[in-house]
Amino acid sequence: MARWAVVLVALMASACSGAPDAGRPVAAGEPSPSAPRTPPAAADAGEAKPFETKLVVLYQPDRVLRIRVPDVPSFAAYMKNVESTCNAFFASATAPRALDVVVAIKPDGSARVWFVGASPAGDDAALSVLKRKLESLSPPAIQSGPVAFAIVGSIAGAPRGDVDPATFEPPLPREWLDALGAGKQRAAIPDDVLPIVWP
């Protein structure tokens, strides 16, 4: 993992804990443009969080992120704020399930959220409420183009056996897949899809 991504993940891990975690292991080598990053530190081992981050995915390579994210600590704090908002929202959840939160930010200061994961019947309304809460958070400054990331999460202790950084496939919202159609193998994510799904 390149140094920029290591710093970002370490900052996210420590944003609300007060203790840096820069020594956590990271994936070896330069990641691909959509490679997942090592997850931030979990809470105490015996304490199950209502919503727990298992992996953080940055959809763009470091060379792009270095240009588009001028303030890395603010960006990491925003990611942590997204995680904290999810944790508060699912505080009373008892049904374990996987849920990935995909966030895109534009240079104009707007943010859009998509969810990837099994949604129990009747839960779409609840996720709409969470979507509004997340989109009302103040995003960090972004320049020269959009930035996207995903928080790969677990609700109520749901096991996630699919988060090995070496084999993990970054989550793609259904709306993104529909927009890309047959050209999805050649598309640059998120730059090619956001003008379609979020003009």
Please check whether residue 133 lies inside any domain of the structure: yes
Domain assignment present for 7: yes
pLDDT digits (tens, 9 = 90+) for 79-111: 999 999 999 999 998 889 999 999 999 999 999
Read off the tokens for 101.
């939160």
Which amino acid, residue 68?
R
Q: Please check whether residue 198 lies inside any domain of the structure.
A: no
The string of pLDDT tens digits covering residues 26-61 is 232 333 334 444 444 444 445 667 999 999 999 999
Give the residue numbers spanning the domain of 98: 3-170
C-alpha 14/C-alpha 136 separation (Å) is: 23
d(Cα 105, Cα 161) in Å, to the nearest integer? 29
Which sign, positive or negative, has the C-alpha torsion 142, 8, 63, 59? negative
Question: Could you give the number of structural domains in the chain?
Answer: 1
pLDDT given at position 144: 95
**196 within domain boundaries:** no
Residues 6 or more apart whose Cβ sits within 8 Å of residue 113 = 101, 102, 103, 131, 134, 135
Of residues 140 and 40, more confidence is placed in 140
Letter for the amino acid at 101? V
Could you tell me if residue 179 is inside a domain?
A: no
Closest CA to 140 of 58, 86, 76: 76
Per-residue model confidence (pLDDT) at position 6: 45
In a domain, 10, yes or no: yes
Nearest 5 degrees, angle CA 119-CA 90-CA 9? 95
